[in-house]
Structure 1
Amino acid sequence: MERIRWLYGFLACILIAILLAPLQIMAQGEFRTSDQPLVYYIPVEQEVERGLEAFLQRSLDSAVEEGADHIVLEINTPGGRVDAAGNMARALRETDIPITAYVIDQALSAGAYIALNADEIVMAPGSTMGSAAVIDSAGNAADEKAQSYWLAEMRNAAEYNDRDPKYALAMADRSIEIPELDISNEELLTLTASQALEVNYAEAIASNRAELLEHLQIDNAFEQEMEVSFAEKLARFVTNPLIIPILLSIGSLGLVLELYSPGFGVPGIMGISALLLFFFGHLIAGFAGYEAMILFIAGFLLILIEVFMPGFGLFGILGIAGMIGGMLLASFSTAWMLVSLGISAVVTTVVAIITFRYFGSRGPWKKMILTESTSSEKGYITNETRQELVGLIGQSLTPLRPSGSGLFGEERLDVVSEGGYIEQGRKIKVVSTSGSRIVVRETDE
């Protein structure tokens, strides 16, 4: 009875919590009335890359599904990948809901390009926008072809909302002078909030969301803020181009070391975890489907079959092809994935050689690899060697062809002649012993 009362009490608490939840939400003003305009805030923060692109696309889809009346991009980014920025700009243009780019701190490089593709730009006091030169992965200026493409994109973004393109071009090209803003040809254009307002690259300056909504003439708005989930944060980290070769190197190195260690231990866990992180991040970011992971697992199983059941290399070749194919399917850039695979192959080979050559018998590796051997010095004896028999003289009890029996004192022993045939009844002398082997020769002594 006591347990039943506790159960009823627990269920009652749950029921009360369910009933009170709507009242608490109403108290916090979380219910949207039918006449309230819905404003969607989407943070565009940190580096512009494919993970942020996936998050923006999800946020835009969510805003459309919930019938948002206005979308606000809260931009604070130093820039990032040109390809990701291009896809994000395309998604903004394809959205029918009005979009305002609210620069709360900085919209540099790809961030400036994204802001220019919004329907309207509002900047916070002290914020900046510009400095949009395209650079390669090494931090150097990109080649002429890439520069030409980027300048065309910046021009199109400016003209998309009837802005003077010369300012957008000056953000990406040092050779363009803007005398009215005292910008020489030695630096890229970066607009402050007041400068952007002056040259019509911003419609207003707003210190906070309330001032922003006042400028947008949206009253009594229901504000909905999109948040980056933990999975998306992890996906953004994992899909970073600099992280991909590191993950692949850890994964391949862990699996290689696991093949040379007994059981399943730290190297295997390390390798599988790194590869799972790789696929998880690319799945969440929307770059890969489950078919990529299935192909990779199938390739790994084929390699295991080759290791334990050799098949003239066929399973191994198919396994390697399957694993590489799975990674290529999961990648957002085939070229970069091939580079990452090359880097991981070199790192794995070098580290594995160093590990097995210089640390194979030290530290934890000593416990993984059997280095001990049996020897008579350590007490491992299969047959006792009787050294005291050497020099004894006896008689052959049987013919030695070359093996037979000999009598030494009162002890009968199995012997073998040193050379050829020895007749029965001849004197023989022990010349050497090794384990159970006793070697004799005929003597006249």
Structure 2
Amino acid sequence: MRKHMLRFSFVCIMMALFLIPVQALVHSNNEEAGRPVIFFIPVEQTVERGLEAFMNRSFEAAFEAGADHIVLEMNTPGGAVDAAGNIAKLIQDTDIPITTFVNPDAISAGAYIALNTDQIVMHPNASMGSAAVIDGAGNAADEKTQSYWLSRMEAAAQLNGRDPIYALAMADRNIDLPEVRAPEGELLTLGANQALEVNYAEAIASDRSELLEFIGLDNAIIEDMEVSFAEQLARFVTNPIVIPILLSIGSLGLVLELYSPGFGVPGIMGASALLLFFFGHMIAGFAGWESFILLGVGFTLILIEIFIPGFGIFGLLGIGSVIGGMLLASFSMTSMLIYIAIAVIVTAVAAVLIFKYFGFRGPMKKMVLTDSTSNEKGYITNETRKELVGQIGETLTPLRPAGSAVFDNERLDVVSEGGYIEQGSKIEIVYTAGSRIVVRESK
């Protein structure tokens, strides 16, 4: 009986020890469950398609976590119009309230993205604006593109009840707003206080705590989204400036590999550049496995053409397969065709210069015939009998203009210098070259 009592007491004590932390944990989880969740998403560096892919992933994570609010921590000099438009659509299609915290810059495409969010909070030293659309050379875009961009800026401002005149002034230097812009004739860029005055910012905050206090979520659970290494790589690779450089390095490296004996640095460099291009576009969400398959098929066909000549058919199919993979991996077929054209021109010019000044080496030497048959190497087809020049003979057959003649009892095939010569005519040898003996009628 005493043993049973001891066992019962031990079980009760152990249950009490386990229940206390469990109850505390349940209570703690209930407290966590009652707190709002806010996602902080960095919008940094250039606005491009890699950033768009990261934003898509971040918004999906916020939705799956049941986030109560999203904050875009913005510091960008702007970037691509198409990527900014897609990010703006992503913001508009999201039911979760979104605040942009400008710290310190929302320039160009960054200003457009910020205007699409529900509210804007600026750091005291922040600036927003200067949103003219420019082409790849840094010049003002054409009139059609300018008109489209102005309409998008106006619509973004009106989306949250802001006066569109200021958004238009950010993109059009011809709009005069002397009360908020100096000197005259420049694109509008608003400081924090100016943005607050014209209702382009709802508040000014020096840090996150002031921001959260303004939003009313100072007790929220904070989730920080971070750009992964793969996404950083994808953002770099999908930059419009980097793409043609990568393609040029890839194609030039493979051409140089044909020039170099063995598989060495040029081949590794070229293959790595192309794989980096496809990998970055896959991470960014533009390329699928079909692009890698086409790339592999293309390389295989090109190798077949090099080692088993097929009248160029395998080579053309291989090049077409590689280009097809690039087009499938691109976010813009027109842009990709331009990038490919740039890479082809760079590679062609470099290859011509290399082969001109350094000759053919490596596998290229095996594919290009450089030997010639010359007398110096012992290749003699017909000996030129210069001693015959000046000899007089007689035609055995009519020369029309070719025929036979005899010279010092030696029969030779000859050809007349011009017209017809009758049989039995006296002739003179005037020129010899190999087996060719030229004669004329002798007076």
TM over 0.5: yes
- In the alignment, what sits opposite 2:283? 284
Tell me if structure 1 keeps the 8 A contact 2:302–2:314.
yes
Match of 1:337 in 2: 336
1:32, distance to aligned residue in structure 2 (A): 8.1
SS at match of 2:91: helix
Cα displacement (A) at 1:104? 0.7
**Corresponding position of 1:215:** 214
Partner amino acid for 2:57? R
Give the distance between the partners of 1:232 and 1:367, measured in 2 at CA. 38
Pairwise mapping of residues 303-314 of structure 1 onto structure 2 (< 5 A)?
303-314=302-313
1:261 offset after TM fit, Å? 3.0
Equivalent residue for 2:229?
230
Q: Deviations over 1:267-319 (max 9, x none)?
A: 11111101010001100111111101111211121111122222222212211
- The change in CA–CA distance for 1:306 and 1:184 in structure 2 (over 3 A counts) is same
How far is the alpha carbon of 1:358 from its aligned partner?
A: 2.0
CA distance in 1 between counterparts of 2:342 and 2:198 reads 47
Check 1:305–1:164 CA distance in 2 against 1; reply closer, same or farther (3 A cut): same
Q: Give the aligned residue type for 1:351.
A: A
Q: Which residue of 1 aligns with 2:86?
A: 87
- Is the alpha carbon distance of 1:347 and 1:30 closer, same or farther for their aligned partners in structure 2, counting shifts above 3 Å? farther
Where does structure 1 differ by over 3 angstroms across 4 or more consecutive aligned residues? 29-32, 182-185, 365-370
Contact preservation (8 Å) 1:170, 1:176: yes
Amino acid of the residue matched to residue 53 of structure 2? A
Instruction: Judge conservation of contact 2:261–2:362 (CA < 8 Å) in 1.
Output: no
Count of aligned residue pairs for this structure pair? 344
Amino acid aligned to 2:155? N
Aligned pairs for 1:90-129 within 5 A: 90-129=89-128
Equivalent residue, structure 2, for 1:176:
175
2: CA distance, partners of 1:258 / 1:348: 13
Partner SS state of residue 227, structure 2: coil
Structure 1: which 5+ runs fail to align? 1-25, 374-418, 420-445
Determine the structure 1 residue equivalent to 2:326.
327
Cα shift readout 1:158-194 (whole Å, capped 9, x = no counterpart): 0000100001001011111123325564111110100
1: CA distance, partners of 2:357 / 2:31: 67
Q: 1: CA distance between counterparts of 2:132 and 2:91?
A: 22
Identity of aligned residues (%): 66
- The amino acid across from 2:300 in the alignment is L
**1:249 and 2:248 matched:** yes
Change in Cα spacing, 1:125 to 1:310, as seen in structure 2 (3 Å) is: same
Q: Which whole-Å deviations, capped at 9, do the CAs of 1:31-61 have from their partners, x for residues lacking one?
A: 9810111110000001111111111111111
Query: Partners in 2 of 1:265 and 1:343 — Cα distance?
Result: 25
Normalization by structure 2: what TM-score? 0.74
CA distance in 2, matches of 1:217, 1:55: 27
- 1:11-90 alignment to 2 at 5 Å? 33-90=32-89
> Which whole-Å CA distance do the structure 2 matches of 1:277 and 1:195 have between them?
44
Residues 48 and 79 in structure 1, CA contact (< 8 A), matched pair in contact too: yes
Structure 1 contact 32–222 (Cα < 8 Å) conserved:
no
Give 1:196's aligned residue.
Answer: 195
Q: Secondary structure at the match of 2:34?
A: coil
Q: Once structures 1 and 2 are overlaid, which stretch shifts more, 280-289 or 177-186?
A: 177-186
Q: What's 1:149 paired with?
A: 148
Give the letter aligned to residue 190 of structure 1: T
Aligned twin of 1:356: 355
- Mark the runs of 5 or more structure 2 residues left unpaired by the alignment: 1-24, 372-409, 411-443
Partner of 2:293: 294
Who is 2:441 aligned against?
Answer: none
Moved more, 150-159 or 215-224: 215-224
After superposition, the CA RMSD in angstroms is: 2.5
